Structure 1
Amino acid sequence: MFAEQLESGRLRPSFRDAEQLPEAEAVFLAVSPGDADWSHDIVKLIAGNAMCQVIINQTVGPVGAAERLRNQLREAGSATALVAMPDLIQEGNAFQTFTRPESILLGCERGEGEALVRELLRPFNRRKDVIQVMTLREAEFAKLAISGILATRISFMNDMASLSESLGVDIDVVRVAMGADSRIGEAYLYPGCGFGGAGLDQNVLALVDALKARSAGPGLLAQVMQTNERQKEVLFRKFWQYYKGDVAGKRVAIWGAAFKPGTRRVDNAPVLKIIEALWAQGVEVAVHDPKALPELEAWASGRGPLQLCDDPYEALAGADALMLVTEWKLYWGPDWRRLRVTMRQPLILDGRNIYDPDFVRGQGLVYRGIGRV
């Protein structure tokens, strides 16, 4: 689709070092959080563009960032409106969440820029009006708060999974019961080996920093992040316990390195902490992932030895354990017989609870999940 738009002339590239931006009525800012200074440079360019009516800031930053950009425009004497429309797109499912959004947060002051933004988004806002209008700060804060509650649900379920194991309770049964309650719902109730990615981590950390700066104390969200970091090592701990600490020289196969299915990124991914723990104990590591191997290779360079495999069963050869870390669909229905005969030891460590424990055990394998019995 991107190539088609380029060829048709509807989409024209402009590069970062351009001395001026192409003339346009609306300009979207969606740079990475670490590139915030570049946002200010762009605003300086736009300030002298009489054609531009609105700047739509999608760059996620601390609350108040959009106001600073707006003030910069005013100081430059520009009449261009600035609105905040924080990015709610889900990585790995970006096209669907852009074309059929459940919600669009639109921060604008006194309605400035609202009419033009609504017209731009009209093709994606037809089933019902999903645009929620609020102030600049409210839009920025709402985005961070959404990330905070999602992270909290994940870490809560991971705590419950840990408790369920000690009680002999299957967390999956509990999850279904919780999700059936309309006050709770089903989303983000899946325990696992932790969440990663630049976005969610940075958003929650931005909230923690804001709480600390206002002397409110980090409270719950700081604990959420601590729980998540601890959870990233849960598969290693299960591996260690199974072998009673005698793990040096063993071989572990890992399926999935990306922080979530549908992306090639490994930013803060659980696999990084798992690999570091395995390296520290002298364990040989082989990894398969359909997209993330180049980024994983770049991260591992100079850190330790890592076998990168183009075929998932290649990683299993002679393995003493299989760790399922990212729930790519190609891993959901493996060839169990081939898996059993390829591995040296039949230990399956399911970090996303995608397999049926009884079925896996019926294949002659040892199963360990997250809160499963």
Structure 2
Amino acid sequence: MQVDVYGDTLCALVSATALASTGNQVLLHLPPGNHAQQLNRGECPFREPGLAELMEEQRKVGRLQLAPLAERPQAGSRVVWLALSPDMLSEARELIADLPERCVRRWLVVNQSTFAVGSSEVLQQVLLDCDPAPADPGAVVSLPDLLTEGNALQSFMRADSWLLGADADWARQLVTELLRPFNRRRDAIMPMRPREAEFTKLAITGMLATRLSYMNDMANLADSLDVDIEQVRQGMGADRRIGDAYLYPGCGFGGLSFSRDVMSLASTLEGSGMAAQLLDEVLNINERQKEVLFRKLWRHYGTDLRGRKVALWGVAFKPESSRINNAPALKLMEALWAQGVEVHVHDPRALGALAEWAGEREDLVLHQDPYAATAGADALMLVTEWKAYWSPDLIRLKELMASPLLLDGRNVWDPAFMKQNGFAYYGIGRR
């Protein structure tokens, strides 16, 4: 089948590559910008396991090709797959309005873009805006982006669920056929109306964010009650009504899509006349939590931080990602700089993005080696739980650091073990 994918988002690249890998002829239409330049040079702008290799393979065999965003679909195409940035709804409308033979060819438009609830219906109206009305009308379906960054390719090719919002039976069947190679273990497709699919995606994100912020609040309370939040977490997770997913407290969540979806849900509630008090508080808790390690450091040194040196391990918003969008490390570094702290950073993938965000600063030093970042440090803060940080060489760390102080923003280290090895240790709600 011929499929035209529009967008340069992670979702667009994963969808185009996965669809090409199952025999479809895919033309990926890219907006102008850095991502298009990288892709045209043969580079993948996202550091996702397996994505660059599979994309290169599909381009070599000719099933995946690139084109500008403004280029029309392939001559034999009937499927347009939209995976655009959330601020590109107007571009999506223009693309649909300009589809060749829009009023006589039965187009299927798959909307994976995270637009506002009801956007697929708006795009459907654009598709059907013909005089006279089309005899065999096309359809816009909603297939929300549920990818997990850091495991994006596998979360498409082995999806736990697909939310398929479609009003036309033929459109639902055609999307089901496109997804059939990724839907063989069990039927993971959940049919619903387009508006319901769009809202479900936002509601899922809102629930996950609420669980995270709730656990962070409980961890902060555990600190004041002399309670170990790890025991509490395990007890909560053992209750089948709750489960253990997204119950790990930490120093806040980040990520462009995750944060933006929560804010979009809050805006949707406010636009409907309902107060978004819960989600507003979820976001407020998260912003406060991003400074929790700073507050612990500030108290440890009696509010005197000027001239100190602090090492950060991890600045990406999550492991296996090179992105720093809304990452907790950014707000943490700003708080440290405001107190005159020199910050030394290591991250396996995100140093380039950090350098672009921060610019040249005398109080920021980037390191390719994690231990080099800790040399002479008054504290080490673990912010992103990369697996390479889970089992550090404690003897080496203690020799390198000016003061053996560990602040564990992800609770990956055992407090008792660290203390036995001569470190002062602070976790999130840990004893």
- Aligned: 1:73 with 2:131: no
Alignment partner of 1:254 is 2:312:
yes
Q: Which residue of 1 aligns with 2:79?
A: 26
Provide the rounded CA distance (Å) in 2 between the counterparts of 1:162 and 1:218.
Answer: 24
Aligned to 1:316: 374
Partner of 2:62: 9
Q: Which residue in 1 is equivalent to 2:225?
A: 167
SS at match of 1:174: helix
Q: SS in structure 2 opposite 1:12?
A: strand
Give the superposition deviation at 1:302.
Answer: 6.2
The residue aligned with 2:277 is 219
Aligned partner of 1:87 in structure 2 is: 145
Q: How far is the alpha carbon of 1:47 from its aligned partner?
A: 5.1
Residue identity matched to 1:202: R
Secondary structure at 1:252 match in 2: strand
Equivalent in the alignment of 1:108: 166
Alignment partner for residue 94 of structure 2, among 31, 41, 44? 41
Q: Which amino acid aligns with 2:73?
A: L
RMSD over aligned Cα atoms: 1.4
- Structure 2 distance, partners of 1:14, 1:22, is 10
User: Superposed, which structure 2 residues align to 1:232-247 within 5 Å?
Assistant: 232-247=290-305
Amino acid at match of 2:67: S
> In structure 1, what is the equivalent of residue 33 of structure 2?
none
Match of 1:338 in 2: 396
Q: After alignment, is 74-83 or 94-103 more displaced?
A: 74-83
| Deviation, structure 1 residue 25 | 2.7
Distance 1:334 1:303 in 2: 28
Q: Deviations over 1:312-361 (max 9, x none)?
A: 11110110011100001111111111111111111100000000111111
Please report the TM-score for the alignment, with normalisation by the length of structure 1: 0.97
Tell me the distance in 1 between the aligned counterparts of 2:85 and 2:283.
Answer: 21
Q: 169-178 or 69-78: which moved more?
A: 69-78
Residue aligned with 2:246, SS? coil
Report the residue type matching 2:293 in the other structure. L
1:254 CA displacement? 0.3
Tell me, in whole angstroms, the C-alpha distance in 2 between the residues paired with 1:132 and 1:126: 14
In 1, distance between residues paired with 2:123 and 2:362?
Answer: 43
Q: Which runs of 5+ in 2 are unaligned?
A: 1-53
Residues 33-71 of structure 1 show CA distances to partners (whole Å, capped at 9, x for unaligned) of 122222222212325366663110000011011111111
TM-score by length of 2: 0.84
Matched-pair contact (CA < 8 Å) for 2:341–2:363: no
Instruction: Please tell me whether the aligned partners of residues 252 and 286 of structure 2 are also in contact (alpha carbons under 8 angstroms).
Output: yes
Structure 1 CA distance, aligned partners of 2:368 and 2:138?
51
Paired residue total: 372
CA shift, 1:112, in A, is 4.3
- The CA deviation at 1:214 is 2.1
On the 8 A contact 1:86/1:139 being kept in 2, the answer is yes
Encode CA deviations 1:247-274: one digit per residue, 9 max, x unaligned.
0000010000110011111110001100
Q: Percent identity?
A: 51
* Offset, 1:11: 1.1
Deviation at 1:13, TM superposition (A): 1.5
Q: Map of 1:348-367 to 2, 5 A cutoff?
A: 348-367=406-425
Q: Does 2:107 align with 1:53?
A: yes
* Distance (whole Å) between structure 2 residues aligned to residue 295 and residue 43 of structure 1: 34
Q: d(CA) in 2 for partners of 1:133 and 1:261?
A: 32
Instruction: Select which of 180, 183, 193 maps to 1:125.
Output: 183
Query: Cα gap change, 1:200/1:318 in structure 2, threshold over 3 Å: closer, same or farther?
Result: same
Unaligned runs of 5+ in 1: none
Q: Measure, in 1, the Cα distance between the counterparts of 2:310 and 2:264.
A: 35
- Which of 351, 354, 358 lines up with 1:293 in the alignment? 351
* SS of structure 2 residue aligned to 1:34: coil
Q: Distance in 2 between matches of 1:184 and 1:115?
A: 35
Q: Which moved more, 1:332-341 or 1:28-37?
A: 28-37
Q: For residue 22 of structure 1, what is the amino acid of its counterpart?
A: Q
Partner Cα distance (1:114, 1:311) in 2: 50
Tell me whether 293-302 or 261-270 shows the greater mean CA deviation: 293-302
Residue in structure 2 matching 1:210, options 234, 254, 268: 268
CA contact (8 A) 1:26 1:55 kept: yes
Judge conservation of contact 2:150–2:319 (CA < 8 Å) in 1.
yes
Moved more, 296-305 or 255-264: 296-305
Q: Deviations over 1:190-220 (max 9, x none)?
A: 0000000111111111111111122211111
One-letter identity of the residue aligned with 2:393: D
Check whether the contact 2:82–2:112 (CA below 8 A) recurs between aligned residues: yes
* Contact 1:26–1:52, Cα closer than 8 Å, also in 2: no
